[in-house]
Chain A
Amino acid sequence: MDTPAIMVTVIGLALAGFVLWYFFFSARQTANAVSSSSGVQEVAITVKGGYSPDVIEVERGKPVQLSFYRDEENSCSEELLMPDFSIRRDLPAFKTTLVELLPKEAGTFTFTCGMGMLRGSLVVK
């Protein structure tokens, strides 16, 4: 192996390692729901290449209102799926879409885009 080959190998492996760490093992952004006066747990989520925040903590047994604001036009994020709650919504671009649900059981429930690549989770305590 000559010098360029060694360089490419080292950089390539480092890059591959970084990709794995960055997408799978790095820390996530967590947010707690704010309870409104009526007892509804409200969370505002911005959709732009992903969900921010993407980990949402809520309490069990109280209604949850998630307001998704989709801040982009890319087709990837146009659909929202919460399979555990049987929810499928179209998220219009630059609009807020409200999603209401009642978490009855504790656990971690993922929500994703239509193809399952953008991911977030609802942690019910």
Chain B
Amino acid sequence: MEPVTKTETLDIEGMTCASCASFVEKSLSRTPGVQRAMVNFATEKATVDYVPTQASPATLKEAVINAGYGVVERAPDTSAAERSAEIDRQKAVAYQKLKRRFGVAVGLALIIMPLSMLMLWPAIMQRINMQWLNYALLLLTLPVLLYCGREFYVSAWNGFKHRAANMDTLIAVGTGAAFLYSLAATVVPGFFTSRGLMPEVYYDTTATIIALILLGKVLELRAKTQTSAAMRSLIGLQAKTARVVRPDGAEVDVPIEQVQLGDLVVVRPGEKVATDGLITEGSSALDEAMLTGESLPVQKQVGDPVFGATLNKTGSFRFRVTKVGADTMLSQIVKLVEDAQGSRAPIQRLADKVSAIFVPTVVVIAILTFVLWFDLAPAGTRLPLALVNFVAVLIIACPCALGLATPTAIMVSTGKGAEHGVLIRNAEALEKAYQVNTVLLDKTGTITKGEPSVTDFWTLPGQEAGQLLQVVAAVERQSEHPLAEAVVRHAEAQGGANLPATGFRAVEGKGAAATVNGQVVLIGNRRLLADEGVSLSPTLITQAEQLLGQAKTVLYIAVAGQAVGLIGVADTVRATSAAAIKKLQALGIEVVMMTGDNAETAAQVAGQVGITRYFAEVLPADKAGKVKELQAEGRTVAMVGDGINDAPALAQADIGLAIGSGTDVAMEAAGITLMRSDLGGVVTAIELSRQTIRTIKQNLFFAFVYNTLGIPVAAGLLYPFFGILLSPMLAAGAMALSSVSVLTNSLRLRSFNNH
């Protein structure tokens, strides 16, 4: 048998020529277990096929290091947890550096400001040499420029080389112009005085703007780290180790990365499930809230799936690993949320277009402002006025608020959604969900549980009901029919004995028979009893007809040749459905139901949950057609479904919501996936989308108004009428506040809670 190989890509460090590459390649090829190694010098990557039982990423790395080269940890191969930890660490370092630069800027600005104001007191000014004071200010400003504000100039220059202009460009050009003008006034004041100008300096403007913008950045960075908090806590849920049962029966704790498919893993009460798998032994109640948002623990037994990162509450069990790494449910959720955070909402498109052309346009506006002021202002003050307005335009126009408006809101809300078990595929889905005015529910599996359960247990007078139920359960336990399962579940919920049954036989399409307590027990449809020669009493027939009238399936019970009771089975409405539908209606949304059932059953279920409009007897193939029908009425339709046959309807709807961790096909077709199997998620999704879009609109409004109103004011448009000019320092303060307020507004979504 061909051994199963794995492929690993390594980033090689330190190769200087093609012969290095072939050397690394040889050294890897010689490593035991390696079947094929290829090293690409240009991309500095090695692709290695190896047999996992003989080699591991660690031994491969060792081989490279032995050859004298290094292996760089490759970002996508490290787990999401490590990757985010590394990025967090870097961000923390950057934050510390930023705070230090901000501290220095504030300290120096606090000295520069009062010194610059000395000229307001002529008495003091007479005793001080202007020239000397200017040089002192220059010395104090230099560190602010070269240390605190260095990043702006470097970034602006790098951008300029790439013909890209960013917000740093504006700050750099603005403060740079104020500084250079002041520098000239300090070094060659004669040039100014000879032309009848006061050699004014703007060191205080330069220093204060830099300090204020750094303040904005400090606050921005602090808020930004909070926007991804939900995601990070999700990634942090991953278990670090798993207790694997070795073939010899020994239990060993191994790092999660080393767990392989097919491994047997033990989970004790209070422990986290390491990865996804199927229970092979034992049973327990698991808290799956981290994945589904469902707060009640879920009972699991042999054969049931368990998911990594969920919490084992009560019992201890063993499970067989079916998924590891990126395939696990948690990783898929993380991936889905990450994807959603990378997507752009249609509402953002305008802002994107504006951002792209914004900075160069502002630079042009600033230049024109300078020219106009220079040409129109009185000769004695035209240069300083032109300069001050030029700087003010550049500083206030910084479009960071615009850039932050949508992404931060999307970041917070998608993370929040995941916390509630609502997975949003992309920002467009979020925006669509906001517009929904009609929700179409597929009855089975959404309003109802989608599986039969016992609704009635009726016995002839004189029968011991509890006893009879256990007798019936004894027979049904041996059957695999879904109806039989429902009966067993019902009996187990009532508690009681686990009776032995012998001579079990299933009668195709009719029911089953077995001997319990020495008596032959029959359970099945009317045909079964007729075939076995059991007659039905009139009361039993009336009772059965009543159940059939309620669209229930009826099972007949006979013991020792006597018909003694009836079981009514139906797909029952979920306990949460009515409340969720009521909430949707309260949000102004019309809820419509569709079902394959006959009109009578449909009416009954609809009435039970408060739905007035429904489609009955809808064939699976016609589901998408019903969505179209509603859309033709001019409605924006959200379709909620769970099954594979709902996929076309989910895709046809303006927004599809797949319910339950359901089928992949349904998930593919849906814009939103609800991990929890009840309609509460639909309410959460719609409320969340409404709040998010509202926040985005507020943000965009704020950013747009701020920039479009701010620029003309800074350019001095109000001056001829009201004598209002915007000081560059005020502009810097306003600009710092704008992005902070947009972020704060987005962070308000963190308090979203629909319970």
Contact = CB atoms under 8 A, between A and B. Distances in A.
Nearest to B7: A38
Nearest to A15: B367
Interface string B336-375: 0011111110000001100111111001100110110011
B75 interface: yes
A11 B355 CA distance: 27
B87 A90 contact: yes
Contacts of B478: none
B127 interface: no
Given A34-B42, A118-B159, A12 B342 contact: no
Nearest to B336: A86
Given A49-B161, A90-B87, A117 B342 contact: no
Contacts of B74: 98
B364 A5 contact: no
B164 interface: yes
A88 B341 contact: yes
Contact of B375 (A9, A19, A86, A95): A9
A114 B355 CA distance: 11
B154 interface: yes
B375 A117 contact: no
Interface string A53-74: 0100000000000010000111
Given A9-B375, A81-B344, A86-B343, A113 B75 contact: no
Given A9-B371, A15-B367, A67-B43, A72 B155 contact: yes
B636 interface: no
B597 interface: no
Contacts of B221: 75
Given A49-B159, A75-B217, A86 B342 contact: yes
B755 interface: no
B47 interface: yes
Interface stretch (B398-406, B544-552, B654-662): B398-406
A87 to B, nearest CB: 5
A120 to B, nearest CB: 9
B399 A115 contact: yes
Task: Identify whether the interface residues of A are mostly helix, strand, loop, or mixed.
Answer: mixed
B158 interface: yes
Contact of A73 (B151, B167, B364): B151
A16 B368 contact: yes
A115 B400 contact: yes
Interface in B200-240: 217, 221
Interface string A38-60: 10001010001111101000000
Contacts of B76: 98, 100
B403 A117 contact: yes
A19 B363 contact: yes
A83 interface: yes
Given A76-B168, A82-B342, A20 B161 contact: no
Contacts of A88: 338, 341-343, 407
B38 interface: yes
Contacts of B75: 92, 95-98
A19 B164 contact: no
Among B72, B363, B403: residue with most chain A CB under 10 A: B403
B86 interface: yes
B308 to A, nearest CB: 23
B403 A24 contact: no
A2 B368 CA distance: 18
Which 6 pairs, one residue from A and one from B, show the smallest C-beta to C-beta distance? A49-B158, A50-B162, A115-B403, A88-B342, A116-B355, A12-B371
Interface of A: 1-2, 4-5, 8-9, 12-13, 15-16, 19-20, 22-24, 26, 28, 34, 36-38, 42, 44, 48-52, 54, 67, 72-76, 81-83, 85-90, 92-93, 95-98, 100, 112-119
Given A8-B371, A115-B166, 19 more contacts: A1-B375, A13-B371, A16-B364, A22-B163, A36-B43, A49-B157, A49-B162, A50-B164, A76-B168, A83-B343, A87-B342, A88-B343, A89-B342, A95-B75, A115-B167, A115-B400, A116-B352, A117-B355, A117-B359
